[in-house]
């Protein structure tokens, strides 16, 4: 499997990248970055690219890919809706269109978040923008899965780039086993999210397309190289 990762320098993206590098069924990982990562690995190839609205310059490098793990994102705090939409929605759709043209059989996994609203009625700006992004991605002619994780605990050396979050995660690290037992439907880890992405890429478009923490943890339990059994959609 050949995988391309967007947002590999972030916490979720780092977890996804690590999962890919550890999975023997993944033969190559392409990381699209604005500046080079410090990580080095025989399977990792970095593509430095700065214009996330236009991928024409690297279009030839996007061929014959099996999966995209799109983990690029920013906080909505302090941002106007226009700016947040450009980074959250427009960047993701530009990447998806380029990949759909170059690798039409690819599975696109998009990291959204719990609370995302696909109806467009939420009072939370970020939830509306994320929901619109999910809807537009799922309307594209390729397999897609929208990941909506709740609380994600960084593990295995993965850290957040935001200082206040790093402090928070250090505090909660010791509490995570308790949180996992008390709130199993609401918590997961960066490692589990990464492994679940790989499992989703093997679903070939089957099953529900919007996946929350219970689905993520279920997929994460699937062994490397195994095809997961699609979950039966919940009744309305």
CATH of the domain at 197: 3.40.50.720
For 210, the 3-state DSSP assignment is: strand
Does 231 map to a domain? no
Characterize the bridge pairing of strands 143-148 and 210-212: parallel
Residues pairing with 145 in the sheet:
109
CA distance 25 to 3: 11
- Split into its structural domains, the chain has a count of 1
Residue 230 lies in a domain: no
**Rounded distance, CA 55 to CA 129, Å?**
22
Domain that holds residue 110: 2-220
Report yes or no on 91 lying in a domain.
yes
pTM: 0.88
170 located within any domain: yes
pLDDT in tens, 209-225: 999 999 999 999 986 66
Q: Does the residue 190 lie in any domain? A: yes
* pLDDT in the model for residue 222: 83
What separation in angstroms does the CA of 55 have from each of 19, 24, 134? Answer: 25, 29, 20
Model confidence at 174, in pLDDT bands (50, 70, 90)?
Answer: low
Residues 6+ apart with CB under 8 A from 226: 199, 202
Residue 232 falls within a domain, yes or no?
Answer: no
């Amino acid at each position: 499997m050949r995988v391309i990762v967007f947002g590999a320098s972030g916490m979720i993206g780092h977890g996804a990248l690590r999962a890919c590098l550890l999975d023997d069924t993944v033969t190559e990982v392409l990381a699209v970055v604005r500046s080079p990562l410090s990580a080095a690995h025989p399977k990792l190839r970095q593509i430095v690219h700065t214009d996330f609205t236009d991928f024409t310059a690297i279009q030839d490098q996007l061929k014959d890919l099996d999966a995209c793990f799109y983990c690029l994102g920013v906080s909505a705090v302090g941002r106007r809706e226009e700016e947040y939409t450009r980074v959250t929605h427009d960047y993701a759709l530009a990447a998806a269109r380029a990949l759909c043209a170059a690798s039409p059989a690819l599975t696109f996994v998009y990291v959204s978040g719990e609370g995302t609203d696909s109806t467009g009625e939420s009072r939370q700006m970020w939830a509306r923008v994320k929901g619109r992004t999910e809807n537009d991605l799922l309307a594209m002619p390729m397999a897609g899965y929208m990941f909506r994780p709740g609380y994600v605990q960084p593990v295995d050396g993965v850290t957040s780039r935001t200082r206040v979050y790093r402090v928070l995660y250090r505090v909660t690290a010791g509490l995570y086993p308790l949180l996992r037992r008390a709130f199993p439907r609401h918590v997961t880890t960066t490692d589990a999210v990464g492994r679940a992405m790989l499992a989703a890429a093997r679903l070939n478009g089957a099953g529900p397309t919007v996946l929350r923490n219970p689905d993520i943890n279920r997929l994460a339990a699937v062994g490397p190289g195994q095809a997961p059994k699609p979950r039966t959609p919940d009744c309305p």
